[in-house]
Amino acid sequence: MHITIPLILALCLATNNVHGQNQMVFEAPDPKADSIWSSERDAYCTARIGKPFPLIAEAQTVDGKNFDFGRLTHTTVVCLGFYGCHPCMRELPGFVRAAKDHPDIDFVYITFDAEKERKLEFSGAGLANFKPTPNYHIIHLDRAKIDRLKLASGYPTKYVLDKNGMVTNMMFSFPNIGRPLAEQIHEFIFRH
């Protein structure tokens, strides 16, 4: 059975009648459905670990530089996200901070957002005046290419690549909101 993100959202959201008004509220997902989704998500990630990152060509950053996934010189963390994705926006400041803390690691943010939405996304994440560090790269790819390359099956999707462009770790949104984000990012990057 293939479960898609819209189906998961349908499982998680239900309409409640509150004081005569229909409102969308979050309800705990069905444990069986959550188990199926978790298994599918784990299988999706496991199938990519140890294989080349699907985007092996050069890609142009939003500031006009080339980033060649086929010729990496550092460990590289890739995060796919977009404006309106709340987990993406929650994690964005953590990855920006990690880029400052680890200048020997490249961080690549891939989004299908146009410039206007990217500005809203960074502003909404508390990064209105964000200027990328030399190791932080933002790449715009159209959604069709992201889908064709199967880069993401949910957002945010994150990869760690070694210098050979091989995927050493991959996951979707960080699961533990109670743990410090910096701690989760560090564990994700350095756990191989």
- The reply to whether 88 and 37 lie within a common domain is no
Per-residue pLDDT for the chain (192 aa), expressed as one digit of tens each? Answer: 444 444 333 333 332 333 333 332 333 344 444 445 567 777 878 888 999 998 877 888 998 999 998 889 999 999 999 998 888 888 888 899 999 999 999 999 999 988 888 888 888 888 888 888 999 999 999 899 998 888 887 889 999 999 999 999 988 776 666 777 778 888 888 875
Distance CA 116, CA 135 (A): 23
Element (H, E) at 171: strand 167-171
CB neighbours of residue 94 within 10 Å: 19
- The reply to whether 1 and 80 lie within a common domain is no
33: helix, coil or strand? helix
- The reply to whether 63 and 83 lie within a common domain is yes
Strand partners for 153: none
Looking at residue 2, its pLDDT comes to 44
Instruction: Give the pTM.
Output: 0.76
- The reply to whether 18 and 109 lie within a common domain is no
Domain count for the chain, please give it: 2
Distances (CA, A) of 104 to 38, 76, 99, 114, 192: 33, 9, 9, 28, 17
- The reply to whether 124 and 77 lie within a common domain is yes
- The reply to whether 17 and 56 lie within a common domain is no
DSSP state of 166: B
- The reply to whether 42 and 67 lie within a common domain is no
Looking at residue 177, its pLDDT comes to 66
Which residue range(s) make up the domain with 21? 1-47
67: helix, coil or strand? strand
Q: What is the CATH number of the domain that holds 148?
A: 3.40.30.10
